[in-house]
Structure 1
Amino acid sequence: MIAGIGIEAFAVGVLAVLIIGISKGGFGAGAGVVSTPLFAMMVGPVEAAAIMLPVLLLMDAIGVWAYWRSWHWPSLRRVMGWGLVGVGLGWALFRFIDAGTLKLFIGLMTLSFFTYYIFRARLPEAGGRMGRRSWIWGSLAGFTSFSVHAGGPPLGVHLLSLSLTKTQFQAATVIFFAFVNLVKVPPYLQLGLFTPERLQVSAVLALLAPVGMAAGIWAHHRVPEAWFFRIILALLFVAGVKLTRDGLAAF
């Protein structure tokens, strides 16, 4: 036993933290959609969400410091407000949320946008306008972040529809989730999701957060911009497939 959980579960938690850190540090938050469910398979979805939130908060602090003032505020202003709405909905509906249906819905929407983005030269502009609708993607990002720590794909869809540089894209992701994750703390407390045992595991795993973030930040500044957005698209595709598959498996 390590910090109250089995060695195998702890090893998966370590892997999840490193993957999330690299993703949050350099390439948006898309890969996190794979990591948290992986850890949830070992300890349960509610416990995984509660353990990961303090770790994510530490990563957010590092990310805000690393990308300070690099964000494009006009692209964030409205989507952050809708993210707050999404968190509120997640809190209100937490006891009733069907995680499988939610994952399937987000997965299919993400894959639909991926298809549009790849073939956008042959498709109507309506898809691009849909991507720019911050109220849809911001509220979905807040809602899914609260429920299953899977807010990366909806936010990525919105940000990819804007004309941002790779560092503006990354900084926008960092500041959005720093805000959303901080807002999630009072509801998690009210729902009794934080326990001494879970916080102990969080504290141990948090020691690896700077390692993952440093690796992601290092990679971000060395990957060419064209390849950066290709990686973002690839992560969105993987996240969409993962969410769709998990959602279908729940039925």
Structure 2
Amino acid sequence: MSGSFIAFLLLGAAAGGFINGLSGTGTALFALGFYLVVLDPVQAVAIVALMSVLAGLQGLWIVRRDILAKPKRLLRFLLPGLAGVPFGLSLLNVIDAGTLRLGIATLLIVYGGYFGFRAALPAFTRRTPVVDCGIGFVGGVLGGAASVSGAIPAMWLSIRPWTKSATRAVLQPFNVAILSTTVCLLFFKGAFDRTAMQALLITIPTGMVAAQVGIAVFRMLSDTAFRRLLIILTLLMGVGIIVSELT
């Protein structure tokens, strides 16, 4: 492996691991651009998905009490999300994934741009179990069809005035479960070849350390600051998707 190959892997792992530790999502947004310079798209997506799962497992530990306190709330998102993944994969036969990703990106940019810089954040307090199930299902479908499972759930959760731990107790396990499904599917498609395995020897330890740094910063954020972070992250997700599609 060349020095530039290793450098891009290190940068991607550090950026992706940090943002996952900080917010519980967004690994692909910050890591994929680095990986795509030195890896083919299938290898890059496979590594990002696995890194998201591994970093996410660390994040699950810090919100384990919130997960166990309200497991039904998590399941409202998670079970429909898992059901949506194969449905999203089947949609690839009838829709253009690039067009779908651009549509999602536009929605994220409008939302993130409108709310991200407002003095007062939105606060939707009413219980919405049916809507939560729908959001989870849409996240799963988009994960299978366009690899953006966390985008819509992150947008929805950012307007709920929950504590940062309660929000993360839904978003983090949701992403871990959906991406674990993706990793399994990619494994059976042969994405984890020799090159990918060599890359993982570099990305895994780097990403794990970076995730711990992100978790340390997460602990210092207030609940309001974390909600604002999620909103800004949706804006960055939208910009990142458009850039990746146009380039």
Q: Distance between the aligned counterparts of 1:120 and 1:77, measured in 2?
A: 33
Q: TM-score, normalised by structure 2?
A: 0.81
Superposed displacement of residue 97, structure 1: 6.5
| Structure 1 pair 133–112 and aligned structure 2 pair: CA distance change class (3 A) | farther
Contact 2:9 2:199 in 1 (8 A): no
Q: Return closer, same or farther for 1:96/1:147 CA change in 2, 3 Å cut-off.
A: same
Aligned AA (1:50): A
Q: AA paired with 1:176?
A: F
Alignment check: 8 A CA contact 2:85 2:178 kept:
yes
1:238–1:228 distance in 2 versus 1, CA, 3 Å: same
| 1:1-251 alignment, distance < 5 Å | 1=1, 6-30=2-26, 32-71=28-67, 72-93=70-91, 98-114=96-112, 117=115, 133-146=131-144, 149-247=147-245, 249=246
Query: Is contact 1:141–1:155 with CA below 8 Å preserved after alignment?
Result: yes
Runs of at least 5 residues in structure 1 that lack an aligned partner in the other structure: none
Deviation at 1:180, TM superposition (A): 1.4
| Structure 1 stretch displaced more, 87-96 or 185-194 | 87-96
Question: Would the alpha carbon gap of residues 140 and 14 (structure 1) be closer, same or farther in structure 2, given more than 3 Å must change?
Answer: farther
The CA deviation string for residues 13-41 of structure 1, in whole angstroms up to 9 with x for no partner, is 22222222222212231363232244224
Alpha carbons 1:30, 1:232 under 8 Å: kept: no
* Aligned partner of residue 133 in structure 1, secondary structure: helix
Aligned to 2:162, the other structure's residue is in SS state coil
Q: CA deviation at 1:113?
A: 3.0
Read off the aligned partner of 1:58 and give its amino acid letter: L
Cα RMSD after superposing both structures: 3.1
Q: How many residues align?
A: 240
Which letter does structure 2 place at the counterpart of 1:100?
G
